[in-house]
Amino acid sequence: MNKLVAVTFALVAGISLARADEAKPDAPPVPVDEATKKTTVDINDVRQFAAVFALVKQAYVEPVDDKTLLQSAVKGLLANLDPHSEYLDEKAMTELSEDTTGSYNGLGIEVLTIEGTLRVVAPIDDSPAERGGIKAGDIIVRIDGKPITSENASEASNLLRGKAGSQVTLGVVHEGASAPVEIKLTREPIRVASVRTRWIEPGYVYLRIAQFQEDTGGEVKRKLAKLRDKNQPVKGLVLDLRSNPGGLLTSAVEVSDDFLDSGLIVTTKGRLKQSDLAFNATRGDLIDGAPIVVLADNGTASAAEIVAGALKDNHRALIMGRRTFGKGSVQTVLPLDETHAIKLTTARYYTPSGVSIQAAGIQPDIELGDLKLVARDLPPSYITGERDLPNHLKGTNEKDGADGSKPAATARGEASDDYALSEALNVLKGLALQRKPASAAVEKKG
């Protein structure tokens, strides 16, 4: 048993085991450097593991086979490293592939296992979770009445997915609340629309990125190009990264590059040499240097923070909203065989200024409260000029029944009921007024 477990440890963790009975008695001692000492497992620890293994097999209330126990040991080894490292079986690898393509059956929630609880990073746009009122920062404490504990939290997250049309009841503690509420949701096919664009007002573009998938960079290029086919010059752009849980590092780099002519985007640093990478912008800005305001909140995480950090540190955009989530680590999928792998945290990433945002997040340049605009029961009646007075003398160019102006809410469309977007548009207009016209056209990307 000891030998079996020792070999398993060596294969899974890539460590060396010092075996005194294999050393030649007359051979001189081999010098061992500090790095080797740190990666050598004490034989007593191996014996202890083997003893626990044997006791579980002999005394546990239900019989457990060796394969199940060893897989459980591997899962426990990874789970205790950080919330993002995990063992991926065939089902988990399929789910990971679905996440990067943006299509699966479930509720549309990005969650993390933290201290035995499921914490919501962000609900996906127009998903059952978002429509049911689940928000970034919420804690899921029960699934179909079964409490979530430190022992079952990892497996419980898998219960959020399931057959389309099936129902599930979640016990959810909202941020700032003291007791959970029951939320009944119906699973459905989740097809995450990674990129959405529209005009907020003439000259001002709204770009929403819900998640960074394989083709997000290409989608940004195509949709902005389609908007610009209308021969409308872009005066400014709101990049909405609120409740964006992240995704692929490569897509985040590509999107950052879309709005930068030069400069560092992000660096990654780890223990392995191949983990040390630097990504730089190439020439070409999709909106020719027009000002950008990035909307962020507590659900802006991972790859979304890379984009926010790159645009902020390169003085290309203002960040508005709330402090971001603070996931500043990079995970690499390392295959074990055709159907199994481990997702391992292999590096930290750093913004262009050399700052790690791990656990700290990115502070906005302009902080906003978590507020909503609420329409009045009766619209206020303001007197803003002569034309508002009853029976006023009509102006030369004034037409009957029209005052020639538009209410602010009508002109702004959807921005009128989104407080953060409304504030971003105000700031964007100020930045656009200060901008000097470009003397020459900038080379377009893509």
What pLDDT tens digit does each residue of the chain (446 aa) get? Answer: 444 443 333 333 333 333 333 333 344 444 444 544 556 788 999 999 999 999 999 999 999 999 999 989 998 899 889 989 999 988 888 888 877 776 788 998 888 877 777 889 888 888 899 999 999 889 999 999 999 887 777 778 788 988 999 999 999 999 888 899 999 999 998 877 789 999 999 999 999 999 999 899 999 999 999 888 767 889 999 999 999 999 999 999 999 999 999 999 999 999 999 999 999 999 999 999 999 999 999 999 999 999 999 999 999 999 999 999 999 999 999 999 989 999 999 999 999 999 999 999 999 999 998 766 555 444 555 555 777 777 777 777 766 554 444 433 333 445 557 899 999 999 999 999 988 655 444 445 55
Residue type, 403: D
pTM, rounded to two decimals: 0.70
Q: Whole-angstrom Cα distance, residue 346 to residue 324?
A: 22
Q: What does the angle CA 427 – CA 431 – CA 434 come to, to the nearest 5 degrees?
A: 145
Q: Name residue 238's beta-bridge partners.
A: 206, 293
pLDDT score recorded for residue 131: 93
CA dist., res. 66 & res. 314, Å (int) = 54
Take residue 89 and report the two structure tokens written for it: 């079986």
Helix 66-79 × helix 43-59 angle, to 10°: 130
- Maximum Cα–Cα distance across the chain: 115
* Residue 51, pLDDT score: 95
Burial of 19 from C-beta contacts in 10 A (0-12 / 13-18 / 19+): exposed
DSSP H/E element including 91:
helix 90-101
Dist CA 55 CA 126 (whole Å)? 50
Residue owning tokens 């394969």: 67
CB 180 within 8 A of CB 117: no
**Residue whose C-alpha is closest to residue 431's, from 317, 321, 291, 287:** 291
Half-sphere exposure of 171 (CA within 13 A, CB side): 13
Which DSSP category does 133 fall into?
A: T
Distance CA 375, CA 259 (A): 35
Q: Quote the tokens at residue 382.
A: 């303001």
Q: CA-CA distance, 241 to 251, in Å (whole number)?
A: 14
| Structure confidence at residue 91 (pLDDT) | 84
pLDDT value, residue 153: 78
**pLDDT of res. 39:** 62
- Check residue 282 and report its DSSP letter: -
pLDDT at 407 (0 to 100): 39
CA–CA dist 313, 192 (Å, integer): 29
Contacts of 249 (CB under 8 A, 6+ apart): 266, 268, 303, 306, 330, 349
Catalytic positions are: 302, 313, 327
What type of residue is 369? Answer: G
Residue 334's pLDDT is what?
Answer: 93
